[in-house]
């Protein structure tokens, strides 16, 4: 077995990315502190053809060298927008018939492995702050709270890891519809 070289991967260009059909998922970052986490979310969103990223509250925005360090250019391919207040954005998304999923540990949450997207539905996943998670008012406003089942001693995953797990799960489920 031989590792593939970058030029053998068949990747699309940034211009092609902007024109291809996107996965009907929007990522909302709710007060993410770490610029490396923000960059990682951009890179993962590029990999799964995510429609857009909203950076809310205290999130830093591109261009930024620390975001670029982990995004590796994905800030140029994935559409993004800064919105000051996450809750205002959530209401706007819901008014546009986008189903909002808060990714959080909460009472009556739906486990990710048992959540199945509906064909033709567009989703926004809300990822929370590294320490405090998704704001309670945003959890309360969401249509569904989705939780990644965890069996070990720790009670959470890093936000960039969580985003990768959730996007991969939803991406593969949506593409089977």
Work out the percent of the chain whose per-residue pLDDT is above 90: 99
Write down the pTM of the prediction. 0.97
- pLDDT band at 99, cuts 50/70/90? very high
Coil, helix or strand for 75?
helix
Q: What pLDDT score does 72 carry? A: 96
Question: Hey, what domains does the chain have and what are their CATH numbers?
Answer: 12-174 (3.40.1280.10)
Q: What pLDDT score does 21 carry? A: 97
State the virtual CA torsion across 77, 26, 38, 136 in degrees, nearest 10.
170
């Amino acid at each position: 077995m031989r590792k593939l070289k970058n030029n053998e991967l068949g990747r699309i260009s940034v211009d092609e990315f902007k024109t291809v059909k996107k996965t009907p998922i929007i990522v909302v970052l709710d007060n993410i502190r770490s610029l490396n986490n923000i960059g990682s979310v951009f890179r993962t969103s590029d990999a799964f053809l995510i429609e857009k990223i909203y950076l809310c509250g205290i999130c830093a925005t591109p261009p930024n060298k620390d975001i670029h360090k982990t995004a590796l250019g994905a800030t140029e391919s994935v559409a993004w927008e800064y919105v000051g207040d996450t809750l205002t954005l959530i209401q706007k998304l819901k008014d546009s018939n986008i189903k909002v999923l808060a990714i959080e540990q909460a009472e009556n949450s739906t486990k990710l492995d048992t959540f199945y997207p509906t064909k033709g539905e567009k989703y926004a996943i809300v990822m929370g702050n590294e320490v405090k998670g998704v704001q309670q008012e945003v959890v309360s406003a969401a249509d569904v709270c989705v939780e990644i089942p965890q069996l070990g001693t720790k009670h959470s995953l890093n936000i960039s890891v969580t985003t990768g797990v959730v996007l991969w799960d939803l991406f593969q489920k949506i593409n089977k519809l």
